[in-house]
Every structure is written in structure tokens, then in C-alpha cells.
Structure 1
């Protein structure tokens, strides 16, 4: 079941991917190194005020201790993005101005 959810994250992320100025798809690994399952993952270009759709999708969860590939593709040419993570306990982590053009992985910690 974990493999199915992780595969679902990658598939949903592909639909919601990003094309930066260099017209390359931006992929990076999300590592959930926290004690809680990740229930929602939102992104938005830092120069915008509205969060995009949940990259995990309606039934996606990234369990604690697991990782998955995220692909952002909303057509923006921006490199700086804000990330918003919502964990199973309701805790939210907002990370502003992440440079996705140079990002290889992002680790969520407690």
C-alpha cells in the first residue's frame, strides 16, 4: 500500500509540475524525516498569494520515514517557491523562497 501511495504522489505531482524559465521540468525528492505522516503539500511561486493544489492529491499520504519524487509544473517561470506542509497532527510548516531550480531534495524534520 505504501508503494501505491508513493507512486500516486509521483503521478499526481507530474500533473501539477513546473516549467521554469529554462523550460525544464523541476523534480526533487521530498523526504519525510518527521514523526508524522504528511497529509498535504502545497506550493506557490513566492511572488503569488494563492497556494496551488495539494500535490499529494485527494487520497495521498507520505508516511513518516518515507520519500517520494515531486514534480512541479504549473507553467510558472519562477525559481523561488513557497512550500506548505500539513502533517497528520494538524501542524503546518511553511518554508518561504525555496529555490526549486537548484533543489535536489527537501527534508521535512520534526
Structure 2
């Protein structure tokens, strides 16, 4: 399962070259359910951006490096996660540059 997601991750996140505005952070799933969708949007936005793991998932007990290549110069984002068990999580005004990582847990 992890390999399927990592292949998708490499295709999705590494297809373009990095720029100064790209933001990298570690996404860890310590919850009991797989993350099936992960969205980020700048905190000033009214809408969620595309699913960063579209077609993949982040299984419980795994972590990945995430790259946000939206051309923005902000570090403050909102996150939305959807889980295989139907649960959702929203978290707001996160300084992902300062945090360096985000962990899901039960």
C-alpha cells in the first residue's frame, strides 16, 4: 500500500522543479484510519484547493514529505483531511513553515 502512494507522490509532487515559494513539510498519520484526501488552502482563501493525494492514500503508521507548490509566499495554511472511516478533520491558521510537520492522531 505504501509503495502505491509513494509512486503517486513522486509523480504528483516531483514533476515540477522547486521554486523559492515551495513549502515542504512532513505529514504523518498516527491515526487508526488511512487518510484518503488531504487539502490545503491559504488561510485567506474561502475555498479548499485540490486533493494533494488524489488517487492515493496515507496509511496509518506512515509519513510522507509534502510539497506545496502554489506560488504563494505565505506559510499560513488551513488543512482538511478525509479518512477511510468517514471522519474529517479541519485545522486552521497553521504556520507550516514554522511547524515543519503535521501529524494526524486519534
TM over 0.5: yes
Aligned residues: 106
Please name the residue that 1:28 is paired with: 25
Query: Can you give the 5+ residue segments of structure 1 that lack an aligned partner in the other structure?
Result: none
1:80 aligns with 2:76: yes
1:9 aligns with 2:9: yes
TM-score by length of 2: 0.87
Change (3 A) 1:54 1:15: farther
Matches within 5 A, 1:49-60: 49-57=46-54, 59-60=55-56
Superposition CA RMSD, Å: 2.2
Partners of 2:14 and 2:44 lie apart in 1 by: 22
1:65 aligns with 2:61: yes
Segment of structure 1 superposing worse, 96-105 or 45-54 = 96-105
Shift of 1:37: 0.4
Query: Can you give the 5+ residue segments of structure 2 that lack an aligned partner in the other structure?
Result: none
Preserved CA contact (<8 Å) 2:31 2:104: yes
Partners of 1:39 and 1:15 lie apart in 2 by: 21
